[in-house]
Structure 1
Amino acid sequence: MALADPAVPRLGVFGGAFDPPHLAHVALVQAALAQLQLSELRIFPTGQAWHKARRLSAAEDRLAMAHLAFDGIAGARVDERETLRPGPTYTLDTLRELKREQPLAQPVLIVGADQALALPSWHGFEEILAIAIISVANRAQATGSSGPFDPGVLPNLPSGARFEPLELPSMDVSATDIRARAARGEALGGLVPPAVARYIDKHLLYRSA
């Protein structure tokens, strides 16, 4: 990856349900700060997720867990604005707001490879790509599996779209599995940060799932 212009601050943007935030999320944040030359990484728990069929946990619980997971990471900051915004949460709205607040900064939107493949279905796809560099998280793959994300597979890709790789270790962790384990009252050690595990246990989250 080419060196970033030091005169242009690079603002990382990482959104998600964080229901709950888990150790793969933490590893991604740490890798992004180490690899992407970011001046700051903002973490955005979503408000109303337009693309998710299931109902998310209460925003106050997801925000509390996000703070427990990420507040101790230097350079990372949980941004609560999407949970306060009425209506469906769209990444484009957040990027527009960030550009108004920091017009000289270059947003770097961090997504997983599966999200990158779905980008053409996102609200304001072309404007998102005009505003932000897209950093695609590639997990270490087993031999014989598909390679890193190739932007050329996206249909109607606007000219000038910018993509950067983010390399992650292979981690078999999913929020769906964690919620199922919590619903059964199982221990969550090695899956979520200890403070998040304690919060889930104290507040009996996911027990009725």
Structure 2
Amino acid sequence: MSSGRSNDRTVPVRRVGLFGGAFDPPHRAHRLLVESALDVLRLDRLHILPTGRAWHKARALSPAEHRLAMCELAFGDLGRVCVDRREIDRPGDSYTIDTLNELAREYPGAELFLIIGEDQLAAFRTWKRWPEVLDLARLVVAGRPGFPSPATRVSGDASDDPPVPHLRLPLPLSPISSTALRSMASAGAAPQELAALVPEAVAGYISTHSLYQQPS
């Protein structure tokens, strides 16, 4: 498969996905989500967007160039995927609405799909200019352990807001988390142990660059 960085811009692009995150590190559940989104949503292109300056993260992220390199290793072999560094290069805090506006200009007339996790859906109304996000893109939500879907939540709670309109991405819940992976690496896990949870090339990168050696 060709790398996402060499996509043919002469082919009409009608359906464009965005999948952002810290990717600190990207793991096999991220890879499964990307493969599923390409297939289920019939995307012509999917932008993987490592977070730049994350206003919502309490902890410091690993250096952006490491996270970008790991994304290239995790997803770069997938056709129709573009590892996109715009949020890393953007000065100041990075917001999804800015990225959506940019991509709407780059793909005039295309339908945009914003892929998020269940935890992000729960906090969606705290996002900057979230109604405009819904105007620009269709939300696509992947389940995450510990965050019940709207269909399983108890109804009648006075604190409930009307549900945010979204599509569901059907894929099995995975217990893999970047937090647990950082803890494993910090505890000295061997590359072969990490490779059970992250793509093998990512495991090698973590080991080579001694990432996550400090407690996270």
Q: Within 5 Å, which residues of 2 pair with 1:93-172?
A: 93-138=98-143, 148-149=149-150, 155=161, 162-172=165-175
Aligned equivalent of 1:194, options 189, 194, 200: 200
1:154–1:49 distance in 2 versus 1, CA, 3 Å: farther
TM-score by length of 2: 0.84
Q: 1:145-187: CA deviations, max 9, x gaps?
A: 986335x997366xxx752110112221000000000001113
Please tell me whether residue 49 in structure 1 is matched to residue 54 in structure 2.
yes
1:156–1:127 distance in 2 versus 1, CA, 3 Å: farther
* 2:86 alignment counterpart: 81
* 2:183 alignment counterpart: 180
Distance in 1 separating the partners of 2:143 and 2:122: 12
1:166–1:59 distance in 2 versus 1, CA, 3 Å: same
Structure 2 segments unaligned to the other structure (5+ residues): 1-11
- Does structure 2 retain, via aligned residues, the 8 Å contact 1:69–1:193? yes
Distance in 1 separating the partners of 2:72 and 2:187: 25
* 1:208 alignment counterpart: 214
More strand by share: 1
Please tell me whether residue 37 in structure 1 is matched to residue 38 in structure 2.
no
Distance in 2 separating the partners of 1:204 and 1:193: 17
Structure 1 segments unaligned to the other structure (5+ residues): 1-6
- Does structure 2 retain, via aligned residues, the 8 Å contact 1:40–1:77? yes
Please tell me whether residue 25 in structure 1 is matched to residue 30 in structure 2.
yes
- Does structure 2 retain, via aligned residues, the 8 Å contact 1:120–1:154? no
- Does structure 2 retain, via aligned residues, the 8 Å contact 1:120–1:155? no
TM-score by length of 1: 0.87
Distance in 1 separating the partners of 2:149 and 2:123: 15
Q: 1:116-165: CA deviations, max 9, x gaps?
A: 111100001100011000001136x8xxx986335x997366xxx75211
- Does structure 1 retain, via aligned residues, the 8 Å contact 2:13–2:45? no
Aligned equivalent of 1:91, options 91, 96, 116: 96
Equivalent residue of 2:184, what SS?
Answer: helix
1:99–1:69 distance in 2 versus 1, CA, 3 Å: same
Aligned equivalent of 2:76, options 71, 77, 83: 71
State the one-letter code of the partner of 1:91: T
CA RMSD of aligned residues (A): 2.3
Distance in 1 separating the partners of 2:118 and 2:208: 34
- Larger displacement relative to structure 2 (33-42 or 193-202): 33-42
1:57–1:156 distance in 2 versus 1, CA, 3 Å: same
